[in-house]
A and B are shown apart, each in its own frame.
Chain A
Amino acid sequence: MAWSKEEMAFEVINMLNDGATVNLGIGMPTLVAELMPSTKNIMIQSENGVMGVGERPTAQTVSPTLINAGKETITVIKGASFFDSSLSFGMIRGGHIDYCILGGMEVDVDGNLANWMVPGQKITGMGGAMDLVNGAKQVIIMMSHFNKNGTSKFVTRCQLPLTGTNVVDKVVTELGVFSPAMGKFKIIKLASGTTKESLGDSTLYI
Chain B
Amino acid sequence: MSKICRDAFEALSGIKSGMTLMSGGFGLCGIAENCIDALSMIDVKNLTVISNNIGNSGRGLVKILVQKKIRKAICSYVGGNPDLEKQIFSKEIEVDLVPQGTFAERIRAGGMGIRAFYTPTGYGTIVAEGKDVKVFDRPCILETALTADFTIIKAQKGDSYGNLWFKETARNFSPLMAMAGKITIVEVEELVPLGAIPPEDVHLPGVFVQRIFQGKNYKNDIEFLKLKE
Contact A73–B121 (Cβ < 8 Å): no
Nearest residue (CB) in B for A114 is B125
Contact B121–A64 (Cβ < 8 Å): no
CB under 8 Å from chain B, chain A span 142-182: 161-165
* Mask of A71-112 contacts with B, CB within 8 angstroms, 1/0: 111100000001111101110110000000000000000001
Q: A49-B171, A126-B99 are in contact. Are A70 and B228 (CB under 8 A)?
A: no
Selected A-B contacts with CB under 8 Å, 5 pairs: A57-B228, A82-B168, A84-B174, A126-B99, A130-B102
Contact B176–A48 (Cβ < 8 Å): no
- 8 Å CB contact of B172 from A66, A84, A92: A84
> What does DSSP make chain A's interface, helix, strand, loop or mixed?
loop
The answer to whether the Cβ of B173 comes within 8 Å of any Cβ in the partner chain is yes
Contact B227–A73 (Cβ < 8 Å): yes
A80 to B99 Cα, complex, angstroms: 25
A58 to B229 Cα, complex, angstroms: 8
Q: A71-B27, A135-B101 are in contact. Are A93 and B222 (CB under 8 A)?
A: no
Name the distance in Å between A13's Cβ and chain B's nearest Cβ. Answer: 20
A134 to B102 Cα, complex, angstroms: 12
CB under 8 Å from chain B, chain A span 2-31: none
Residues from chain B with a CB closer than 8 A to the CB of A86 are 104-105, 107-108, 176
Contact B76–A89 (Cβ < 8 Å): no
A74 to B223 Cα, complex, angstroms: 12
Residues from chain B with a CB closer than 8 A to the CB of A63 are 168
Contact A71–B29 (Cβ < 8 Å): yes
Name the distance in Å between B14's Cβ and chain A's nearest Cβ. Answer: 27
> Hey, which bits of chain B sit against chain A, CB under 8 A?
26-30, 52, 56, 75-80, 85, 88-89, 95, 97, 99-105, 107-108, 119-127, 156, 166-176, 203, 220-229
A-B CB proximity, top 8 nearest: A89-B101, A131-B101, A165-B124, A124-B79, A130-B99, A85-B104, A64-B220, A127-B77
Q: A67-B169, A126-B100, A162-B124 are in contact. Are A62 and B225 (CB under 8 A)?
A: yes
A131 to B97 Cα, complex, angstroms: 13
A44 to B1 Cα, complex, angstroms: 45
Residues from chain A with a CB closer than 8 A to the CB of B102 are 130-131
Contact B123–A165 (Cβ < 8 Å): yes
The answer to whether the Cβ of A201 comes within 8 Å of any Cβ in the partner chain is no
Q: A62-B227, A67-B29, A88-B104 are in contact. List 13 more A-B contacts (CB 8 A).
A: A56-B229, A62-B222, A93-B101, A112-B124, A124-B78, A127-B77, A127-B79, A127-B99, A128-B76, A131-B101, A161-B125, A161-B126, A163-B125
Residues from chain A with a CB closer than 8 A to the CB of B85 are 122-123
The answer to whether the Cβ of A193 comes within 8 Å of any Cβ in the partner chain is no
Residues from chain B with a CB closer than 8 A to the CB of A131 are 99-102, 121
Name the distance in Å between A176's Cβ and chain B's nearest Cβ. Answer: 27
Residues from chain B with a CB closer than 8 A to the CB of A47 are 100-101
Contact B101–A58 (Cβ < 8 Å): no
Contact B123–A85 (Cβ < 8 Å): no
Contact B125–A65 (Cβ < 8 Å): no
CB under 8 Å from chain B, chain A span 36-71: 46-50, 55-59, 62-67, 69-71
